[in-house]
Amino acid sequence: MVKNVDLVIIGGGPAGYEAAFVAASGGMKTVILEKEAIGGTCLNHGCIPTKTIMHSTGLFKKLEKIDELGINLENKSIDFRVVQNRKKEIVDKLRDGILSRINKNNVEVILGEGKIISKNAVKIGDETIETKFILIATGTSAMIPPIRGCDIDGVITSDEILEYNKKPYKELTIIGGGVIGTEFANIFSDVGTHVTVIEALDRILPNMDREISQSFKMTLKKRGVSVHEASLVEEIVKDEQGLTCRYKEKGKDAVVTSEAVLIAVGRKANIINLYEDNIKLEIEKGLIKVNDNYQTVYPNIYAVGDVIGGVQLAHAAAAEGKNAVMHILGSEDRIDTKVIPSCIYTTPEIASVGITSDDAKRQNIKVITKKFPMLANGKTVLSGMDRGYVKIIADENTHKVLGAQMMCGRATDMISELTLAIVNELTLEDIKKVIHPHPTFSEAIKDALN
Ligand SMILES: Cc1cc2nc3c(=O)[nH]c(=O)nc-3n(C[C@H](O)[C@H](O)[C@H](O)COP(=O)(O)OP(=O)(O)OC[C@H]3O[C@@H](n4cnc5c(N)ncnc54)[C@H](O)[C@@H]3O)c2cc1C
């Protein structure tokens, strides 16, 4: 069977479905091909499942000090089967929401694996779809490093750990101290698991401001998490004690044994079997290469989201999807993708946008740094939170805001205020004019400027 459309989108994650809404409202006959489930990694194996589980484990951790709030609870325990059932309900509910928007926009969804067979045709099952444009939004999958023992039972990725429904692990080793690794360290230390994080680079959260890495490492240690930086895992072996990771820490041999090992060392682009040999996409470091308008070497084939690399976050993927379709539609109306906030949903939350003071030094930009410690913030103290700060970086001459880093309650919400400031070239004085309600975490933004 052959059908004709304007746009075939391969991948129904945030990049794909957000692009579909823009295409459909621009009058394009649009089809989404999805091989697993609408919502992509974000809804099914990423943002929503992790934060749903974290919501439960975070509340459980708070119970530790519940007596201090005058509340008496006995027999505190956590049942991961209930946590998983709730997660499934939430994911299903949100997927229904996306599907109803898809239906309202008259976008067709075909479930199955799409393959590009020519620059104007995609095959899915027995069906060939002829199309003016193709948008590749196939995302990424967990990367398995070439370490001996990664295939042993009990060595898992985020996909499997997000389905975990038994008693909390006694011990968990996490290979990789990036965003995914630290979020899982947070989740499992919340429920009493002894977590060990092994990071190859010289600091955890290597893409964040150095001060955030250091402060968060202290926070993890306080929670009982063992953190090993500049440490390379050489092999994983299984014996009666469990899974033993042998690693080198700053050149010295070391071992850690645990019930499970989580591999969280990064993601690889989903490009295998995506196109026939006659299609010659340019691939760089395993990612699809595109120009500023998200076009591949074929001007009618676009690629967006995690599969092209850059900032691999759901909101960045969605913005790229929208921008690519805007280009197809000939519109100049774009989302600013130069300024993308990054968030980590640990306790305390971490958020960053724009440049850090290290970036400013490297780029020879003279900056002023404004900082406020959260120990002096009323909402932080009354909520029983410790450590943390808000830091704002501005150009020394113009006072235009260039960056911000935060480690505190609600940092992942507050970062939008600073993102708005950077995108609209606001100055420190512009922010100072704004009343921030009391008592809130966001007062720290104003207080940093006084
Ligand atoms: C554990 C974890 C936690 C995360 N937490 C956050 C977070 O809190 N905030 C955040 O912003 N980001 C988070 N991310 C990252 C976020 O999930 C991704 O940035 C986002 O999903 C990328 O969107 P995408 O549309 O590019 O790709 P994806 O969401 O990966 O969607 C791609 C889709 O394409 C489908 N597909 C692939 N190949 C084909 C094919 N040939 N035919 C048909 N379909 C195909 C896949 O099945 C998938 O559904 C997290 C990721 C992980 C793994």
pLDDT in tens, 200-242: 999 999 999 999 999 999 999 999 999 999 999 999 999 999 9
Pocket test for ligand 1, best of 18, 31, 42 (most atoms within 8 A of CB): 42
Nearest CA to ligand 1 atom 19: 313
In ligand 1, the atom with minimum distance to the C-alpha of 273 is 41
Ligand 1 mean position, distance from CA 275 (Å): 19
Q: Return mean pLDDT, the chain.
A: 96
* Per-residue DSSP letter, 400: B
- pLDDT reported for residue 118: 98
- pLDDT reported for residue 74: 81
- pLDDT reported for residue 250: 86
The 10 Å Cβ neighbour count of residue 121 is: 16
Q: Is the pLDDT of residue 11 over 70?
A: yes
State how far Cα 48 lies from the chain centre. Answer: 10
Q: Is the pTM of this model over 0.85?
A: yes
- Cα gap 24→29, rounded to integer Å: 6
Pocket test for ligand 1, best of 22, 34, 47 (most atoms within 8 A of CB): 47
pLDDT in tens, 372-414: 999 999 999 999 887 799 999 999 999 999 999 999 999 999 9
pLDDT in tens, 266-311: 999 999 999 999 999 999 999 999 999 999 999 999 999 999 999 9
Q: Is the pLDDT of residue 78 over 80?
A: yes
Q: Is the pLDDT of residue 73 over 90?
A: no
Q: Is 98's C-beta closer than 6 angstroms to any atom of ligand 1?
A: no
Question: Are 449 and 371 contacting, i.e. CB atoms less than 8 angstroms apart?
Answer: no
List the structure tokens of 90: 């939430």
Q: Is 42's C-beta closer than 6 angstroms to any atom of ligand 1?
A: yes
- Cα gap 168→189, rounded to integer Å: 9
- pLDDT reported for residue 387: 75
In ligand 1, the atom with minimum distance to the C-alpha of 321 is 25
Q: Is the pLDDT of residue 95 over 70?
A: yes
Nearest of 121, 101, 131, 105 to residue 27 by alpha carbon: 105
Q: Is 13's C-beta closer than 6 angstroms to any atom of ligand 1?
A: yes
State how far Cα 75 lies from the chain centre. Answer: 34
pLDDT in tens, 313-351: 999 999 999 999 999 999 999 999 999 999 999 999 999
DSSP characters over 78-113: --HHHHHHHHHHHHHHHHHHHHHHHHHTT-EEEES-
138-162 mean pLDDT: 97
Q: Is 139's C-beta closer than 6 angstroms to any atom of ligand 1?
A: yes
The 10 Å Cβ neighbour count of residue 375 is: 12
Question: Are 267 and 306 contacting, i.e. CB atoms less than 8 angstroms apart?
Answer: yes
pLDDT in tens, 164-189: 999 999 999 999 999 999 999 999 99
Q: Is the pLDDT of residue 66 over 90?
A: no
pLDDT in tens, 344-371: 999 999 999 999 999 999 999 999 999 9
Percent residues over pLDDT 90 in the chain:
94
Q: Provide the phi-psi class of 230: left if phi over 0, else alpha when psi is between -120 and 50, else beta.
A: left
- pLDDT reported for residue 283: 98
Confidence of residue 1 (pLDDT cuts 50, 70, 90): low
Q: Is the pLDDT of residue 251 over 90?
A: no
428-441 mean pLDDT: 97
| Residues in a beta bridge with 130 | 4, 121
| Residues in a beta bridge with 128 | 2, 123
